[in-house]
Chain A
Amino acid sequence: MTDRAFGVVRAGALTTVQDLGRYGHAHLGVPRSGALDPPALRLANRLVGNPAGAAALETTVTGCAVRPRRPAVVAVTGAPCTVSVDGRPVAWGAAVRVPAGAVLDIGPAVHGLRAYVAFGGGIAVEPVLGSRSTDLLSGLGPAPLRDGEAVPLGPPAGRAAPVDWTPVPSPPAELVLRIRLGPRDDWFGAGALRTLATRGYRVSSASNRIGLRTEGPPLERAVPDELPSEGMVTGAVQVPPDGRPVVFLADHPTTGGYPVVAVVLERDLPAAAQAAPGTPVRFVPVRR
């Protein structure tokens, strides 16, 4: 491997490589995958002068630390956190120069869950089916980061954006998910749909990149039949036998056999990616 790479000093709880995902292979059973918070990934890439969809790191809760072998331009976005270079605090949400051999440390999320770390030139692991994303459901793409490994970087192309301040997101009091009912809302009674729209849920600690699981009042089905497997979209609110809605995120399976009562609007999904366990969730039906 060339020295255009970084070494992993502290991999963190779960740090993966993510870009905007694999498109066009769902019919083969290949999940979309990609960053759970795409606006944060795009911003990080813009800050370092990369194309918006270049591959970057997605950290989970505890951050990570890496040591670039050559001088690198990096930017951290997504969940607010402390960022330091060889122990000295540097800016979050701005392009930062990291000297060769210095340790870039991304601290634990102050709030939110996932930070994005873009490197000028992007992460250059071998793409699989057109994407460098780690897909935790099907195991495509690179494995999650491990302490001590080296991760290749691409040659820097663009110029870092002259931005010296990015608004830090404030912690959301609750996660509001606007939904459109269907395709299988008719598998639930009026009571269940009222429960979904009016009762409070909370983000379950069993949530992951596959789905945001919830705790709260179960939705009772009106149709007890078994649903033949059907195609699933990102944002689908699937209701498994325990009745607690699961919101499908990037690594969701491409088909499923539990009814989808509603689908979350795409623009509300990045917030779902940052909602910590225990956060109150409200589903708000909107009309077509």
Chain B
Amino acid sequence: MRALPVGERALLVELADGEATEAFHAELLRRRAEGTLPPVGEIVPAARTVLLDGLDDPAGFAAGLDGWRSRAPLGRAEETVALPVRYDGPDLADVAALWGVREDDVVRIHSAAEFRVAFCGFAPGFGYLTGLGERYSVPRRATPRTAVPAGSVGLAGPYTGVYPRSSPGGWQLIGTTDTVLWDPERAPAALLTPGTRVRFVPVDDGMAAS
């Protein structure tokens, strides 16, 4: 673990891998819930780092990290969000070719995996989901689409993501869900927040509403 100063009021804590990042993020949330974390404006987990922005004393916080022993992530209700998906994406055949399997194997493998929201970014409510494993990594499309419809389920690198609203995007699209991922009227506004467990449930045409 390494804490890098970021400007005057932030720290970027760098960890060994995604698992260590998840554990450290869980520990931060545990300490915040417990009231033992100094005030911090934003806690932003990412692939290998957690950013703490809006600290009064980043250097003091960094010094204190040496004494941290990451306890096992507190049994945060292991709630799993099930997302019904029609595996009808325009890139399903390409993904099957990249994986060296048939299209129905893509559906089988993807819907059998247990995913976790590693972090959010790119757009409000867009989660980067891990769980497929490195061997199913795929490149982004060489030419991004100018408009990817809301609810599109895509793959890029080791991640799966669901577009909360229509936007440009270069992910390989394998399916569609009708579940609303982002609604500012709802609390939390994002269905997929960092740490949330996710499963994709295959459904037939016209039955992907949850």
- Beyond A28-B188, A266-B8, is A140–B124 a contact (Cβ under 8 Å)? yes
**Smallest Cβ distance from B185 to chain A, in angstroms?**
9
| Known A26-B53, A27-B193, A183-B12; contact A230-B46, beta-carbon cutoff 8 A | yes
- Given A140-B184, A231-B51, A263-B7, verify A30-B124 contact (CB < 8 Å): yes
Q: What interface size band does chain B fall in? A: 35 or more
* B205 CB, nearest partner CB in chain A, Å: 30
Inter-chain contacts of B4 with A (CB < 8 A)? 182-184
In the complex, chain A residues whose CB is within 8 Å of the CB of B97: none
> Are the C-beta atoms of A24 and B51 separated by less than 8 Å?
no
- Contact (A28, B120) CB under 8 Å given A231-B12, A235-B7, A265-B7: yes
Q: How far is the CA of A277 from the CA of B4 in the complex (A)?
A: 32
Contacts of B124 in A (CB 8 A): 25, 28-30, 138, 140
Q: Which residue of A lies closest to B54 (CB)?
A: A23
- The closest CB in chain A to the CB of B4 belongs to A183
Q: Give bound CA distance, A86 to B118, whole Å.
A: 56
Q: In the assembled complex, how far is the CB of residue B194 from the closest CB belonging to chain A, in whole angstroms?
A: 6
As a 0/1 sequence over residues 107 to 127 of chain B, the CB contacts with chain A under 8 angstroms (1 = contact) are 000000000000111111110
A255 and B5 form a contact (CB under 8 A): no
Query: Bound state CA distance, A248 and B125, in angstroms?
Result: 21
A29-B126, A229-B47 known; A182 and B6 CB under 8 Å? yes
For residues 27 through 42 of chain B, which have their beta carbon under 8 Å from a beta carbon of chain A? 41-42
Of all chain A residues, the one with the shortest Cβ separation from B127 is A29
| Given A28-B190, A231-B53: A253 touches B8 (CB 8 Å cut-off) | no
Q: For residues 42 through 67 of chain B, which have their beta carbon under 8 Å from a beta carbon of chain A? A: 42-51, 53, 59
Report which of B7, B47, B53 forms a contact with A180, defined as CB distance below 8 A.
B7
B53 touches A28 (CB 8 A): no
> Do residues A253 and B122 form an inter-chain contact, with CB atoms below 8 A?
yes
Q: Which residues of A contact B48 (CB under 8 A)?
A: 228, 230
Tell me, yes or no, whether A194 is within 8 Å of chain B by CB: no
Give B residues with C-beta under 8 Å from A: 4-10, 12, 41-51, 53, 59, 119-126, 128, 165, 184, 188-190, 193-194
Taking beta carbons and an 8 Å cutoff, which residues of A are in contact with B? 23-30, 128-129, 138-140, 180, 182-184, 228-233, 235-236, 253-256, 260, 263-266, 288
Q: Can you name 4 extra interface pairs (CB under 8 A) apart from A231-B45, A266-B9? A: A25-B124, A29-B125, A128-B184, A254-B44
